[in-house]
Amino acid sequence: MAIEKVNYLHELAMGNLQDLTGQKFGRLTVLKRAGSTSAGRSLWKCQCDCGVRCTATGKDLLSGNTKSCGCSRRQGIVIDLTGKRFGKWTVIGFVDRKNTRNRIAYWECLCRCGTRKKVLQSSLLNGTSTSCGQCVRRIDLTGRRFGRLKVLGYANSIGNPKRALWKCKCDCGKIKNVRGELLLSGETKSCGCLFNERVLQLKGQKFGRLTVIKRAGLSNSNKLSRLWECRCDCGAIVKVEQGNLQAHIISSCGCLRKELISQVRLTASDYEKLAKRFELIWLGSKPVRSHDKTQWKCKQQGHTFWSNFGNLSYSLGCPKCLDLVNGARISKPQRELKKMIKGGRLNHRFRPYTIDIALFVNGIRIAIEYDSWYNHANRLDLDAMKYEALLVAGWRVLQIKANESIPSQARVLKAIRDLTNGATRRIITMPDWGKGPTRKLRSTTVKK
């Protein structure tokens, strides 16, 4: 016990441990330190308002996961939410649990559009319910044009009122009901005629060395991808997926790659220059062909990995040092903003989009986007569709437009407070926005 007390005082003096003694979390009052778990997390002795003493980790207390000894769950105690706001909801008062099943707490809420509804307490706290759903369709799309579709008016909703259907007329004359989120995200631009026309136009076109001959069914790996039979300039017949042709990923039967490889003559200086570019050490003894793998070592962390010259030259460096979350790389501004606001989820997936930082505050969903001039200057229209889709789905958006600079913490926190207090969108524009080079979007058009 004496050694444990000394370690506790040492951690407290070094600033590695936050003293929770005397603080109150929900129904729990922290009495004293109670050692550590096997994983090294601090344990605290607490007393509940019901009189029971229990232990809880500091992480669970600070995050709000633990608020009682368990009596609140057994007794069905309700947290007072009167007057609080959750998205478009404003809580009016508590609904008696005698009229509900399983002693579950319901609250009467008033939506911004004027609708009153009984809402489950847990749905308010975890952000599942942020509005009545009916007011989503109040973002009127009537008269707007999306590709070949012109919106005639509101049609209906699919089960969930948030999924509003809009009656649209295509340029070909066909009438079709389309979900609003698909129109705003750009996923649907016609009744289907545009896709069929593009499919028919591929016949006879040339992509690199490949000339399209005819349809060849569907891909075995992806049943939604069409196969096309193509003839290469060398005379070989191959089957290629439609997406690989249109994106110019495949432009020959393989003969072009072989020819290019045979023409490349790499020297030891080429490998040394590539290693210097990515702060690596080339561990090979002699130059090899560009498509043959050789061993490399990272100077920063000492990682060793195998890669060929071509793949490494088009990469971002050591694959083990890349900061990846949800399959996407984390930028330096993302890390700094997350540290600044002390929370949020990085690269949060929302339908076809990736949100830089997703923040959840009292049931309110806030999307924080850092748009650099280099990456976003040529895709402002795509960003506009993304933000409109987020707003329709009930998100609140904080957009930071910059090049490399980061706004101050006070400015960011003020924008977040405005969003939690009812604002739907805030934009912070830095002085370096609009300055410097821009990134060109990859073109998928076929040159004739």
Confidence of residue 444 (pLDDT cuts 50, 70, 90): very low
pLDDT over threshold 50, residue 93 = yes
Q: What distances in angstroms separate CA 402 from CA 342, 410, 431, 432, 439, one per listed residue?
A: 21, 17, 7, 6, 14
Q: What is the mean pLDDT of the chain?
A: 81
pLDDT tens digits for range 314-334: 676 787 777 767 767 788 888
What per-residue confidence (pLDDT) applies to 367?
Answer: 95
pLDDT over threshold 80, residue 241 = yes
Closest to 284 measured CA to CA, from 264, 308, 249: 308
**pTM > 0.75:** no
Yes or no: say if 45 and 33 are a contact pair by the CB < 8 Å rule.
yes
Tell me whether residue 403 is exposed, middle or buried, using C-beta atoms within 10 angstroms of its C-beta: 0 to 12, 13 to 18, 19 or more: buried
pLDDT over threshold 70, residue 297 = yes
pLDDT over threshold 60, residue 15 = no
Q: What strands, in cross-sheet order, belong to the sheet with 160-170?
A: 145-146, 149-158, 160-170, 175-179
What per-residue confidence (pLDDT) applies to 160?
Answer: 55
What per-residue confidence (pLDDT) applies to 59?
Answer: 85
Q: What distances in angstroms separate CA 103 from CA 88, 93, 121, one per listed residue?
A: 26, 17, 12
pLDDT over threshold 50, residue 101 = no
pLDDT over threshold 80, residue 391 = yes
